[in-house]
Chain A
């Protein structure tokens, strides 16, 4: 019997993949710290899930400041270093074998669900819908983003503040990863490396979507569905 919880990962991975893709295409960084930021969200939820987006945003901002003058390769490598630092800090602070995160159970249409997972699903849905609207409306911001993606030098010539766009992307993607980590890891046993699994899966979706060039963002959800389906069938 297929239940609603079955479809949660589909939307969650799609939104995570979208963050990875936009970071790569517009912020010019393969952000490898996102997995650890996701894990950090889980650990922060021990205190309060509400602080997760703040910490996520701060790390995103820090990453921007440290890598703004670097090329893609160096910036990506730096993000890997940041991921390892976050992981090790978590390991030092939480020196226990396992940490079980608390969760609440709700009943929705006769189905028992974990409340935090349901909220994570809603947050992902809203993020995807908002981005879809952003992609469909022919706004100036969308055109600016497209120019940055295609050619950074051109974007500078057109007077686009590429640094502002970059910081917005890194802050939003890190905040989202951290928030989803604090919600979607609820009820699970976590350890400092748990975020890598989610990062790798999202990377897979983002990489396939990137091959669709201009249709990359739109194709994320169907690709997420196909990858999810494939993972069940293999």
Chain B
């Protein structure tokens, strides 16, 4: 009798086995993509230097970078990483960046992240090579890849490179089926803008109507008015705006006041901040961001935006802020792993609020890959709609 007794049938056994397999795969995927493993043993304190433009031309950007760095320190500690963030003012010039970088080196930091402009990132990359301290550029789009190709193994970048800005703009033109577009550059960022524009011209099938440049405010403070009024009379579907700074807001206002109705695609920055867009309340402004609160990339995305709001009482920045935050977490994760920091950064993957980071051979974060993509959205009827 006992031999004929079976606790479960064959079918039930298959179902249970299937559930176990599915659960195992699910847990595997969760750990691989969304979970930052906390180090099992208590680690020695990891000092991470952060270069922030607290003074000078980029000081408004410095505010969010500093806040994001403090938030990253807090979150990293919650994740079990014993890190200490040391913030130094890098000003707006390469010379001030050099002084701040060397100060951080004297503090025995494991790595340095941050800086804002391209000239600052380039000098920081050179000093990183001299002092043999790893530097991760978290904002600038300067050509750092050629430094790596030339043998500087101490420089990495988790921010976009110029090409990716162009790729995103071209994708926007494709997704929206735009038949034509107009390029508006910003002269103080000419190299950066020209790099983006050349990629768009190469990748997009839409017709290029023309190209205009807004002069630096120190040469002609109201030059955006000239360009805006000139364009308002043209039949344009999409304007690609290369200025990520405050002038872009004045341009958009002036363009709409002059009667222009084209969709404006901003490369990001000021016009990518949801609170600014809501206050402006102008329809048809598209933008790219490294991440948006409404589009979850990892378990840190929402946490970053929510905690930033709680801690600092303001909307979190979705480019320079989030990428500085991610750069600190990348260093924390890389230092905590066995082996040396550079090989870890080269070989491993790292969790951030904007996605899962992996670095290419030229030490550039693989933006555009499945796990790490920029987000494109548009402001319409008082709401932000994610397009891509």
Query: A residues bordering B, Cβ < 8 Å?
Result: 1-3, 5-6, 9, 91, 95-98, 100, 102-103, 105, 112-114, 187-194, 197-198, 200-201, 231-232, 234
Contacts and interface: CB of A to CB of B under 8 A. Distances in A.
A113 B257 CA distance: 7
Contact of A192 (B59, B217, B219): B59
B258 interface: yes
Given A3-B258, A97-B314, A98-B60, A189 B225 contact: no
B346 interface: no
A102 B249 CA distance: 12
Contact of A190 (B217, B246, B312): B246
Nearest to B216: A197
Chain B: number of interface residues, binned into ranges: 35 or more
B37 interface: no
B182 to A, nearest CB: 17
Given A98-B276, A187-B250, A197 B257 contact: no
Contacts of A192: 59
B246 A201 contact: no
Contact of A232 (B220, B254, B257, B276): B220
A189 to B, nearest CB: 4
Interface centre among B63, B222, B273 (most CB of A within 10 A): B222
Given A1-B233, A114-B257, A193-B57, A97 B246 contact: no
Contacts of A198: 221
Contacts of A191: 59-60, 246
B63 A97 contact: yes
A118 B258 CA distance: 15
Interface of B: 56-57, 59-61, 63-64, 215, 217-223, 225-226, 229, 232-233, 246, 249-250, 253-254, 257-259, 270, 273, 276, 279-280, 312, 314, 317, 321
Contacts of A113: 257
Contacts of B314: 96-97
B227 to A, nearest CB: 11
A1 B220 CA distance: 18
29 contacts: A3-B258, A5-B225, A6-B225, A6-B229, A9-B221, A95-B312, A96-B63, A97-B60, A97-B273, A98-B60, A98-B246, A98-B270, A98-B276, A100-B249, A100-B279, A187-B250, A187-B253, A188-B250, A189-B246, A189-B270, A189-B276, A191-B59, A193-B56, A231-B215, A231-B219, A231-B221, A232-B220, A232-B226, A234-B219
Interface centre among B60, B63, B220 (most CB of A within 10 A): B60
A9 B250 CA distance: 14
Contacts of B317: 97
Contacts of A96: 63, 314
